[in-house]
Amino acid sequence: YRVWLDLANNLTQLIESRKLRELVHKMPVLSPHLLNNHRELRLAHLALGFISMGYVWQEGQHEPILPKALAWPYWLISRRLGLPPILTYADSVLANWKLKDPTGNMDLIFSFPGGESCRGFFTVSLLVEMAASTGIKVSKVAKLRLIKITCFVLDADHVEPNAFHGTLRIFVSGWRDNPMLPRGLLYEGVSNEPILLSGGSAAQSSAIQCFDALLCIQHEGETGAFLTRMRDYMPPAHRQLIETLSVCPSLRDFITTCSSSDLCQAYNSCVSALVDLRSYHLNTVAKYVIVPGNHARSMGCPLRGVGTALNSTGTGGSNLMVFLKSVRNTTQRALILERPKHQEKHEWNAAK
């Protein structure tokens, strides 16, 4: 499988020199049956995912067929992992890093691809996940604050908006709800019909959806349907955890029926922190996606079709700003309104 890793390791240069497709066409069709464990499968899924995205978008125009040398092993590996055959958030963020020194500080190496803005984007996303996972374990609102601080420091230091937008177009533009591939992508040797799949998206973050489930924040309509569909792009164990949390007894209902103002305040603090995070996310998207996208369109960038789509459409296929505002507003509505003191006293006496 060295040929896969060699292409993935040199992906940025191969795309810029327009040589990636030529080398993919020379690839042998390899069976993935020699991949023996979960780590090897995740690495293969990561490498083939990046190569596939680069192959499809190298020229900035639609390529409706993924060659069998990519499509067939990618499909089989995806089935074994329970993931779709496209580059997902679980690939580019969760499985794309290692510690430079396992015994030292949090100094990260990202596997694919190169470039400061690309690494900065993945670093931001990964540290959000690390802070969020700690927050899920200890349920402290401070952890949500840490996510916001982490994002602010990293995007200011490592991610240049226009360069980031170029990276985004190539590596997270899927083939569902994308005008460049209106019928989807044909996986040669796998299916006779094109397949529609969404690109990588923060909506595929299992950690953030866990916060929604824990805090009983229920997104409805198109927003709720989209978030539910994004769970299909998560590792199966992550998806199962969210579904389990979603059917547990409601934490919010318990708090609204008890008389503890401290519990109510703690719950509202958590929800408010999540509102702040989503407001920050909305502003960040405007800075790194909407504004650079408009600039790229006015300059006539080579990937103008993909860039134009991403100006208003999220990488997962959502209507970007409408979706983000809906998610933020629904989170805000979950706040428990303060009850009048006389009502609390009445409820307390009734409970006694």
Percent of the chain with pLDDT over 90: 43
Rounded to whole angstroms, the Cα distance separating 170 from 205 reads 20
Rounded to whole angstroms, the Cα distance separating 12 from 9 reads 8
Written as one letter, the residue type at 61 is Q
Q: Which three-class secondary structure state does DSSP give residue 66?
A: strand
Confidence of residue 313 (pLDDT cuts 50, 70, 90): low
Q: Which CATH architecture best describes the domain 2-334?
A: Up-down Bundle (1.20)
Domain locations in the chain as residue ranges:
2-334
Total Cβ atoms within 10 A of residue 345 = 11
Instruction: Supply the DSSP symbol for 302.
Output: T
100-109, 293-302, 320-329: range with lowest mean pLDDT: 293-302
Report, as an integer, the average pLDDT of 106-123.
Answer: 68
Rounded to whole angstroms, the Cα distance separating 135 from 274 reads 12
The CA angle 186-302-317, to the nearest 5 degrees, is 50
Query: Is 238 marked within a binding site?
Result: no
Dihedral sign (CA 135, 282, 333, 145): positive
User: Hey, which residues does 246 pair with through a beta bridge?
Assistant: none
The answer to whether residue 143 scores a pLDDT higher than 70 is: no
